[in-house]
């Protein structure tokens, strides 16, 4: 008897980040594709991990995360924005932001429900929606500024809409939402029985003197939103896969039902180390925007003489570039060519769309040491 498997995700292949990072390795290219630093976390944080590895903190922590870390998170938002968050009923530690996104979606989305996403959108959203039995409704961000089309969003809302997903600072476009944008979002969804999932993993990487606008601080959205964050992005430790979700208590109850049977809990010694580091070194996350703004400016200056047209980068550690003066290749073909023939790996934008526009834009990651960026720039400038 021949056994077959009916795929639950028949249209899903390997993520573009994995594809391009493997290609970078295979062709010995400088990897400016996948979003991870080529430098290490702060030595003080690493010391705390080593301490707790030897201090008996190696067994299961509480399912929702150790109290010390949840309290440190609540204290951070109280200090930075005045938000009052109950660490016992509103904060859950997760095994990466991706798990938090998955749990948020499955907490409220059922068979036949609709979830609105804004294209180009991060590629983990739609598979999670499909696994929950939901239908993804794609709304393209308006070009060239990559802003939300509020009229199209309003026209897409209906009684089946269960969730609207936003992402700011935005991957892959490096744009940010403003407080006015959040007000507009609250207004258009007010009549509907839907929630918001706000992907805010780059919350501490906002440039040019602007402040991050979070649903956590919004007077109306805070009560109907899941907000997802990432320690990996903040502390240069993407491989630790530790994140958290802040949500009102009634949503957190449903979130934790999924979380406990997904990963159950998250690596113990890192939680203790992060709790200490958040308490003792707030300057680390408070200085992150300036740290990456300097890298953004350095990278942009290094490739200013190239034939790439650089788009604005308002947040994240990504830089979009238009290559239309260089090639007519599709973005995927151009990214492959850049990696295989020129030795710099980049990310195409089309995999982030349901219906990609006819543009010639790729994404660089500048979360790299300056010598790495300089070496890449020499290649880029010669193209």
pLDDT more than 90, % of the chain: 94
Structure-derived torsion over alpha carbons of residues 115, 139, 9, 193, reported in degrees to the nearest 10: 0
Question: For residues 136 and 117, is the Cβ–Cβ distance under 8 A?
Answer: yes
User: What is the pLDDT at residue 2?
Assistant: 72
CATH number at residue 52: 3.40.640.10
Q: Is residue 2 part of a domain?
A: no
pLDDT over 70 at 197, yes or no: yes
pLDDT of residue 12: 83
Tens digits of residue pLDDT in 63-78: 999 999 999 999 999 9
The tens digit of pLDDT for each residue in 87-127 reads 999 999 999 999 999 999 999 999 999 999 999 999 999 99
Q: Verify that 182 and 171 share a domain, yes or no.
A: yes
Asked if 320 and 311 touch (Cβ cutoff 8 Å), the reply is yes
Would 350 be classed as within a structural domain? Answer: yes
Residue 352 maps to a domain: yes
Structural domain harbouring 120:
43-280
Higher pLDDT, 151 or 4: 151
Whether this prediction's pTM lies above 0.85 is answered by yes
Angle between helices 370-381 and 288-302 (to 10 degrees): 30
Band the pLDDT of 14: cuts 50, 70, 90: confident
pLDDT at position 328, please? 97
What does the DSSP assignment read for 292-360? Answer: HHHHHHHHHHHTTTSSPEEPP--BTTEEEEE-TTT--S-HHHHHHHIIIIISEE-EESGGG-SS--S--
pLDDT of 11 reads 85
Whether 1 has a pLDDT exceeding 90, the answer reads: no
Q: Is residue 209 part of a domain?
A: yes
Can you give the CATH number for the domain in which 24 is found?
Answer: 3.90.1150.10
Nearest to 251 by CA among 230, 226, 215: 226
Contact 361, 311 (CB under 8 A): yes
Of residues 280, 291, 346, the one with CA closest to residue 319: 346
Tell me what pLDDT residue 84 has. Answer: 95
- Beta-bridge partners for 318: 365
Same domain, 254 and 364: no
Alpha helices, DSSP H only, in the chain?
16-26, 43-53, 67-81, 97-108, 125-131, 150-156, 179-189, 231-234, 249-259, 268-280, 282-286, 288-302, 331-337, 370-381
Whether the pLDDT of residue 134 is over 80: the answer is yes
pLDDT of the residue at 214:
98
Chosen domain end from 280, 298, 326: 280
Q: State how many domains the chain has.
A: 2
φ, ψ of residue 120 to 5 degrees: the values are -75, 130
- Do residues 260 and 335 share a domain? no
Give yes or no: residues 260 and 314 share one domain.
Answer: no
In a domain, 9, yes or no: no
């Amino acid at each position: 008897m021949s056994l077959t498997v009916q795929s639950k995700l028949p249209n899903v292949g390997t993520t573009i980040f994995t594809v391009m990072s493997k290609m970078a390795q295979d062709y010995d290219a400088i990897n400016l594709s996948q979003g991870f630093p080529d430098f290490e976390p702060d030595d003080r944080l690493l010391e705390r991990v080593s301490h707790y590895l030897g201090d008996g903190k190696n067994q299961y922590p509480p399912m929702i995360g150790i109290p010390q870390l949840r309290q440190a998170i609540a204290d951070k938002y109280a200090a930075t924005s005045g938000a009052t968050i109950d660490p016992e009923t509103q904060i859950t530690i997760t095994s990466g932001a991706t798990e938090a996104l998955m749990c948020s979606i499955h907490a409220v989305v059922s068979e036949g429900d609709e979830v609105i996403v804004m294209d180009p959108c991060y590629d983990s959203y739609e598979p999670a929606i499909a696994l929950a039995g939901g239908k993804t409704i794609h709304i393209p961000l308006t070009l060239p500024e990559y802003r939300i089309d509020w009229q199209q969003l309003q026209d897409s809302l209906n009684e089946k809409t269960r969730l609207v997903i936003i992402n700011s600072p935005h991957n892959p476009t490096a744009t940010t939402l403003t407080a006015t944008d959040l007000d507009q979002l609250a207004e258009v969804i007010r009549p509907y029985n839907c929630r918001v999932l706000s992907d805010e993993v780059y919350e501490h990487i906002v440039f040019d003197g602007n402040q991050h606008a979070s649903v956590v601080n919004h007077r109306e959205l805070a009560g109907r939103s899941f907000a997802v964050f990432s320690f990996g992005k903040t502390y240069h430790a993407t491989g630790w896969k530790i994140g958290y979700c802040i949500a009102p208590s009634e949503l957190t109850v449903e979130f934790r039902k999924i979380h406990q049977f997904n990963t159950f809990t998250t690596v113990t010694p890192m939680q203790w180390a992060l709790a200490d580091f958040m308490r003792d070194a707030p300057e680390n996350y408070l200085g992150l925007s300036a740290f990456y703004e300097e890298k953004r400016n350095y990278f942009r200056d290094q490739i200013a003489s190239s034939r790439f047209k650089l788009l604005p980068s308002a947040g994240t550690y990504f830089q979009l570039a238009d290559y239309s003066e260089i090639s007519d290749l599709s973005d995927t073909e151009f990214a492959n060519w850049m990696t295989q023939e020129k030795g710099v790996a980049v990310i195409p934008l089309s995999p982030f769309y349901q219906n990609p526009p006819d543009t010639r834009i790729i994404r660089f990651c500048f979360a790299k040491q300056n010598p790495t960026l300089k070496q890449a720039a020499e290649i880029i400038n010669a193209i």
